[in-house]
Amino acid sequence: MADYTRQCGVARMPAELYKYKPNCHLAVFEAMLNVGSIAVVKQSFGVLALAVALAGCTASPPESSETMEEPEVTEAVESPEGSDGEEGEAIAQVPQSIEPVTVLEGLEHPWGMDWLPDGTMLVTERPGRLRMIRDGQLDPNPVPGVPSVLAVGQGGLLDVAVHPQFEENPWVYFTYAAGSPNANQTRVARARFDGSALSDWTVIFEVERDKADGQHFGSRLAWMPDGTLLVSIGDGGNPPVELDNDLIRNQAQNLSTRFGKVVRLNDDGSIPSDNPFVNTPDADPAIWSYGHRNIQGLAIDPETQQIWVSEHGARGGDELNRVEAGGNYGWPLVTYSREYSGGEISSEQSRPGMVDPLVVWTPAIAPSGLEVYRGDRYPQWEGHLFAGGLVSQDIRRIELDASGNVINQTPIAIGQRVRAVRQGPDGLLYILTDDPNGRLMRMEPS
């Protein structure tokens, strides 16, 4: 049943009941029973939703993320009266007064953002610039001190993260692509920032093997509560890109390389002594988890300390995963994704010893940017995940139960490719859109 439900997208119950694929009749029944607070208790529309779901079951193959966008998902709204005339269960709705508002434009393919203690926002632009935004105004001059980066394909200046004790340790951290189109790698660097310029730019970590082409660098940064730094690194690229006469994506399963991994570092780039593979022969001690394709969404819940990632599939099969130390997330041995040509990548979608995704998006949304909301500006959204979508041009608001299981998701239309989603120090959600005239947007309650 687990295979059927994941194939049919049941993790996204109930808002997408009409989208299921082969073998989904039984999956719909199980999902509606298993998410009782969402599907069964809502008696006033439960039977109708089931009928619509079963009627919509098809055997159509997944669409390519290059040709199809994810259909809009609407959140069910029912009468406050239950079917028996008594007061129905209270259902938290998306407040209609919360809307995405453009703060400013004029950012060239912005990629990452973070805040200094004084509220200044730092934003990376993929061509290789760091920008400052103060009081909603973009400084017209880029911050000096950023070296040349490889701005080819998906490469360039990527994420940015301010040291969690910046006032005592004025370091800012970056991920970026370096090298040439035929020999490149993902790097992590840090530099001192005095409020106007960067200095002492130092590479503290890099993928040890060069690769060809401009694909799958990753790369997001996130600080753990203990002050260590998580970094996501892509698998190196799609076929026909190779390493050592094998498809480079297979390196995601190779513990001796850094492709297709999440790594954990101390703030100076050294390796924490309690990393899961420190004592594993021939394994890279920096590795925290493996079997990833290309993570561009990485968030740590400050309340539960759970680590969440969103990662790209190829043709469909994008994933939301909860990451644990030492976990193998399967790529490319198990996947719901298909080749861009339409062919099969793997006949397996699950395997003992590998971690199944909590959500699979087919068609692809091309996820980039992820945040766990912990604030008081949108109390209805407390603890929800917010996943940006490049192809879907929206943000998926993902509701979790008390155990961290996904029970619902709802899109928030943005209208441009969403590259990053972050919670600011003011408790509001901020959005960067991937465009030559990219926007900084904010979810504003009125």
Contact of 265 with 188, CB cutoff 8 Å: yes
CB 101 within 8 A of CB 429: no
The overall longest dimension of the chain from CA atoms, in Å, is 69
Query: In this structure, are residues 435 and 416 in contact, taking their beta carbons and an 8 Å threshold?
Result: yes
Beta carbons of 246 and 206 less than 8 angstroms apart: no
Q: Does residue 88 surpass a pLDDT of 90?
A: no
Strand partners, 400: 406
Residue 217 pLDDT = 98
55 confidence band (pLDDT: 50, 70, 90): very low
State the number of CA atoms in the 13 A half-sphere of 117 facing the CB: 11
Task: Note the pLDDT of residue 123.
Answer: 99
Q: List, for residues 405-441, the tens digit of each pLDDT value.
A: 999 999 999 999 999 999 999 999 999 999 999 999 9
- Residue of 123, 309, 296, 325 whose CA lies nearest to 228: 325
- Does pLDDT of 167 surpass 50? yes
Copy the structure tokens of residue 217: 């660098």
pLDDT at 5: 35
Gap between the Cα atoms of 45 and 41, Å rounded: 9
Per-residue pLDDT of 235-255, as tens digits, reads 999 999 999 999 999 999 999
Tokens of residue 185, six digits: 């790698």
Average pLDDT over residues 124-130: 98
pLDDT band at 181 (very low <50, low <70, confident <90, very high): very high
For residue 95, pLDDT beyond 70: no
Choice among 109, 216, 292, 312 that is catalytic = 216
Delimit the domains of the chain by residue range.
1-60+69-91, 98-445
Q: Scanning the structure block, which residue is given the tokens 């029912």?
A: 78
Average pLDDT over residues 161-186: 98
Say what the pLDDT of residue 370 is.
Answer: 98
Q: Is the pLDDT of residue 83 over 50?
A: no
What is the per-residue pLDDT for 119? 97
- How would DSSP label each residue in 68-125? -PPPP-------SB-TTSSBPPP-----TTEEEEEEEEEESSEEEEEE-TTSPEEEEE
Average model confidence (pLDDT) for the chain?
A: 84
Which strands form 110-115's sheet, in the order they lie side by side?
A: 110-115, 121-125, 129-134, 137-138
DSSP string computed for 114-164: EE-TTSPEEEEETTTEEEEEETTEE-SSPPTT------STT-SEEEEEE-T
The one-character DSSP state at 254 is -
pLDDT-above-90 percentage for the chain: 77
CA distance 175 to 220: 7
Q: Which range has the worst mean pLDDT, 67-71, 161-165, 343-347?
A: 67-71
**Residue 103 identity (one-letter amino acid):** V
pLDDT for the residue 96: 58
Q: Is 382 exposed, middle or buried (0-12, 13-18, 19+ CB in 10 A)?
A: middle
**Per-residue model confidence (pLDDT) at position 404:** 86
> DSSP character for 272?
P
CA–chain centroid gap for 106, Å, is 24
* pLDDT band with cut points at 50, 70 and 90 for residue 283: very high
In terms of CATH, what superfamily is 98-445?
TolB, C-terminal domain (2.120.10.30)
Let me know if 72 is exposed, middle or buried by CB neighbors in 10 A (0-12, 13-18, 19+): exposed
> Interior CA angle at 399 toward 397 and 400, to 5°?
145
pLDDT (average), residues 147-151: 98
What is the structure's pLDDT at 86?
33
188: β partners: 175, 205
Assign residue 250 a region: left if phi > 0, alpha if psi is -120 to 50, beta otherwise? alpha
Stated pTM of the model = 0.81
Residue 78 pLDDT > 60: no
Q: Supply the pLDDT for residue 7.
A: 36
Among 313, 417, 316, smallest CA distance to 68 is for: 316
Q: What is the mean pLDDT of residues 282-310?
A: 98
**Dihedral pair phi/psi, residue 367, rounded to 5°:** -70, 135
234: left (phi over 0), alpha (psi -120 to 50) or beta: beta
pLDDT over 90 at 43, yes or no: no
pLDDT of residue 356: 97
Give the pLDDT score at 42: 32
Structure tokens at 31: 């999902």
Residue range 134-147, pLDDT digits in tens:
999 999 999 999 99
pLDDT of residue 125 exceeding 80, the answer is yes
Position 11 confidence tier, pLDDT thresholds 50, 70, 90: very low
Q: Tokens standing for 206?
A: 């890099």
Q: Count how many residues are written for the chain.
A: 446
Among 213, 258, 256, 214, CA closest to 235: 258
Active site annotation includes 312: no
